[in-house]
């Protein structure tokens, strides 16, 4: 078996002896450059398309996170409130100890105003035109319509929240302020 390998290598070396030892020809260089010129744009197009898809999904997930943040902040406050009042983009909550919290959707943000009147920007990137607080007296619920700002454009506009997300918070055993 070892003998066969030695013989094979000897035969190959004899064949290479007669090859041109002057270097690479112009035809070989032109063919190589042509192949690189054809393959590079294809690989680049696949790579940039993949990056666009990756970033568009990232922006969509960021929109989901903003909606989740809004819901998490409001759920606990509404649950613990004793009295409430809904007025368009403003939700006023009063607790049994007399403290007051005001939630406001304004300037593309969800804002929190504490008992001392300090304004805190809680969640940014909220579409103010399509977001609001409502009260349904027949069902005794606070209806929150929330929509994040559309961040995906071009061919990725479908990866946006195109309609507001509507959530209801029960206030059946809470007192409505007039």
- Residue 12: the pLDDT is 65
Question: The tokens 């509507």 sit on which residue?
Answer: 166
- Residue 5: the pLDDT is 67
Read off the pTM: 0.70
From the centroid of its chain, how far is CA 9? 60
Write out the two tokens for 91: 């939700």
Q: What are phi and psi of 142, to 5 degrees?
A: -90, 125
Task: Evaluate if residue 1 carries a pLDDT over 60.
Answer: no
Q: How confident is the model at residue 34 (pLDDT cuts 50, 70, 90)?
A: very high
Q: What are phi and psi of 115, to 5 degrees?
A: -60, -25
Q: Which residue intervals of 25-161 are DSSP H helices?
A: 26-80
Q: In what order do the strands lie in the sheet with 132-136?
A: 132-136, 141-146, 165-170
Task: Evaluate if residue 144 carries a pLDDT over 80.
Answer: yes
Dihedral sign, Cα of residue 20, residue 24, residue 28, residue 30: negative
């Amino acid at each position: 078996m070892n003998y066969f390998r030695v013989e094979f290598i000897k035969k190959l070396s004899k064949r290479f002896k007669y090859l041109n030892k002057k270097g690479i020809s112009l035809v070989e260089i032109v063919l190589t450059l042509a192949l690189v010129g054809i393959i590079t744009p294809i690989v680049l197009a696949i790579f940039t398309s993949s990056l666009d898809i990756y970033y568009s999904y990232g922006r969509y997930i960021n929109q989901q996170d903003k909606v989740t943040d809004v819901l998490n902040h409001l759920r606990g406050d509404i649950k613990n409130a004793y009295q409430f009042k809904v007025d368009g983009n403003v939700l006023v909550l009063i607790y049994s100890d007399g403290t007051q919290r005001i939630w406001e959707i304004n300037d593309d943000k969800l804002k929190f105003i504490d008992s001392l009147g300090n304004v805190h920007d809680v969640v940014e990137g909220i579409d103010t035109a399509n977001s609001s607080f409502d009260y349904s007296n027949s069902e005794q619920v606070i209806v929150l319509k929330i929509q994040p700002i559309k961040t995906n454009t071009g061919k990725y506009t479908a990866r946006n929240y195109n309609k507001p997300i509507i959530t209801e918070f029960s206030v059946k055993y809470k007192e409505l302020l007039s």
